[in-house]
Structure 1
Amino acid sequence: MPVHQQFSLLIRLKNANQYQRYLTGDFFAAPWTGGVLATSAGVTEDRVDVPPGAFDFFRADADEPSLAPLQVARLAPRLLNSVYRHVFDKALAFLYHTGHQKSWVLLDDARSCVWSQFSDSDTPEGMSLRSDRMSWPLLAHVLSAAPSFKAFLASLDGDLYLKGLERLSSEKLYFIYYALNYCETNDDRFLASLLEAGVEPPAWHIVNGALRNFQTFADVFNCSVGSFMNPEQKCAWSF
Structure 2
Amino acid sequence: MPLAMLQSGYFQGGDPLFDYSRLGSTIAHEMLHHFDSHGIGYNQTMYQTSWVSNSTLDSFEERTQCLVDQYFSYYFPEVGLYLNGSQTLDENLADNGGLRQAFKAFRTLVQQGQVDSQSTQYSQDQLFFISYATAWCSQESEAYLENLITNNAHPPARVRVLGTLSNMEEFSEAFRCPIGSDMNPKEKCAVW
TM-score bracket for this pair, using the shorter chain length: 0.7 to 0.9
Which among 98, 101, 106 is matched to residue 147 of structure 1? 101
Residue 78 of structure 1 corresponds to: 26
Residue 160 of structure 1 corresponds to: 117
Residue 113 of structure 1 corresponds to: 66
1:97–1:54 Cα change, 3 Å: same
Structure 1: gaps spanning 5 or more residues: 1-37, 40-51
Residue 175 of structure 2 corresponds to: 221
Q: CA deviation at 1:155?
A: 3.1
Runs of 4+ that moved beyond 6 A: none
1:62 counterpart letter in structure 2: Q
Larger Rg: 1
1:225 counterpart letter in structure 2: I
Aligned counterparts of 2:85 and 2:167: Cα–Cα separation in 1: 21
Q: CA deviation at 1:197?
A: 2.2
Residue 49 of structure 1 corresponds to: none
Please give the TM-score of this superposition, normalised by the length of structure 1.
Answer: 0.66
Residue 49 of structure 2 corresponds to: 97
Aligned counterparts of 1:193 and 1:169: Cα–Cα separation in 2: 38
1:167–1:87 Cα change, 3 Å: same
Please give the TM-score of this superposition, normalised by the length of structure 2.
Answer: 0.81
1:111–1:237 Cα change, 3 Å: closer
Which among 166, 181, 189 is matched to residue 235 of structure 1? 189
2:4 counterpart letter in structure 1: G
Q: Does 1:130 align with 2:84?
A: yes
| Conservation of the 8 A alpha-carbon contact between 1:223 and 1:229 | yes
Aligned counterparts of 2:93 and 2:27: Cα–Cα separation in 1: 14
1:92 counterpart letter in structure 2: G
> Which one scores higher on RCO, CA 8 angstroms, separation ≥ 6?
2
| Conservation of the 8 A alpha-carbon contact between 1:142 and 1:210 | yes
Aligned counterparts of 1:221 and 1:72: Cα–Cα separation in 2: 19
Q: CA deviation at 1:105?
A: 2.6
| Conservation of the 8 A alpha-carbon contact between 2:93 and 2:191 | no
Q: Which has the higher mean CA deviation after the structures are superposed, 78-87 or 193-202?
A: 193-202
Q: Does 1:53 align with 2:1?
A: no
Aligned-pair identity (%): 23
| Conservation of the 8 A alpha-carbon contact between 1:69 and 1:155 | no
| Conservation of the 8 A alpha-carbon contact between 1:225 and 1:231 | yes
